[in-house]
């Protein structure tokens, strides 16, 4: 078993990411980021939705849409 076989764990695994238009830059390596809507952990390899203006990550399209609706009533 190696470090990546373990369950998503402690704060040391939290990545710091700068979100851009269609790309992201990892500023501090880690295994996951936190969803701005649900508060859940998103494995960095699974991250597909974010907002570059707000610098927020979203677990999926439902969370991204919920945040958009919140900002655009």
Segments making up each domain of the chain, as ranges: 13-71
In contact, 44 and 26? CB cutoff 8 Å: yes
| DSSP type of residue 36 | T
What pLDDT tens digit does each residue of the chain (73 aa) get?
344 444 444 557 999 999 999 999 999 999 999 999 999 999 999 999 999 999 999 999 999 999 999 999 8
Rounded Cα distance between 17 and 44, Å, is: 9
User: Could you tell me the two tokens for 62?
Assistant: 């439902």
In contact, 57 and 33? CB cutoff 8 Å: yes
């Amino acid at each position: 078993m190696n470090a990546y076989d373990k369950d998503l764990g402690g704060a040391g695994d939290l990545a710091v990411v700068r979100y851009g238009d269609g790309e992201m830059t990892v500023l501090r390596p880690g295994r996951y980021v936190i969803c701005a809507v649900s508060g859940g952990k998103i494995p960095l390899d699974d991250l597909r939705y974010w907002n570059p203006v707000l610098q927020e990550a979203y677990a999926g399209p439902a969370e991204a849409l919920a945040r958009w609706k919140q900002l655009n009533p």
